[in-house]
Amino acid sequence: MPNSKETHIVEIPVHQENYQNQQTKTAIIIQQHPMMEISQSPGHLLLLKLWQREELLFTRRILLNETKLDHLRREIFQLCCYFLVFHSFITTLLFTSSSTGDAHSSVTRCHKWWVPSIFAAASSGAIVFLVQVKLWRYWKVTERLRREKNDSRTLGRSIQELRMKGASFDLSKAMNFVNSKKAKKSSSVEIKWKPKIWCSNNLVTFCLVLFAGLAFPAPKLFLCII
């Protein structure tokens, strides 16, 4: 009986070879990724961490300033309500006193009409002063919030550029960002008086003063004429 030779075919696992090639390509891509380049560059990595920390501080300061603005808005609204309630009370009191008493007491009250007028003016002046202080703080915080948001957007764009460019990012831009912040702070110290903006910022105060001025002769109207 003739000897039969058995032939064994060794199959090469093609899928395993493709998997190894994919792993090699993935490793190369990861090595060439900008974030990997940043992690291997101490200067760029330190700059990224500093900027990320500063971005977090910006976010906290923005939230804090927005909370302050909400609180100041509520306080200004409450003071304006107190102002209107006070004048409503004074008007009601004057109307009630003018409709009671005889002719002699009416004449006496008429000669002293300036007493409630001065009292109302002094009280109104105190409320208007508090409103003006709150408005001054409100617009100061608003300007600070605007600067914080602008700096935060600028910093966000710089971080995005650093993440995209990796080690090719120019570290001198970090110094330019710091210098631009210093220039903004120094320019914000300068007082720029613009009548239109100043009037719009203090419109509430002007309305309260105008109302108080119109209400000043009200005691004479109620005590001497009506």
Assigned domain for 15 exists: no
Assigned domain for 200 exists: yes
Number of domains, the chain: 1
Assigned domain for 100 exists: yes
Closest by Cα among 95, 86, 101, 94 to 115: 94
Instruction: Give the per-residue pLDDT at 114.
Output: 83
Instruction: Give the per-residue pLDDT at 142.
Output: 95
Unique residue bearing structure tokens 């009548």: 195
Assigned domain for 191 exists: yes
By the 10 Å C-beta count (0-12 exposed, 13-18 middle, 19+ buried), 38 is classed as: buried
Assigned domain for 4 exists: no
pLDDT in single tens digits along all 226 residues of the chain: 445 444 444 444 545 555 555 555 554 444 445 677 777 777 778 888 888 899 999 999 999 999 999 999 999 999 999 999 999 998 888 888 766 655 556 677 777 788 888 999 999 999 999 999 999 999 999 999 999 999 999 888 888 888 888 777 777 767 666 666 655 555 554 445 577 888 888 999 999 999 999 888 888 887 776 5
Assigned domain for 7 exists: no
Which pTM value belongs to this model?
0.73
Closest by Cα among 92, 113, 84 to 219: 113
Assigned domain for 171 exists: yes
Residue 154 domain boundaries: 29-225
- Beta carbons of 111 and 220 less than 8 angstroms apart: no
Task: Please list the alpha-helical segments (H only) found in 99-202.
Answer: 103-111, 114-165, 172-189, 195-201
Assigned domain for 20 exists: no
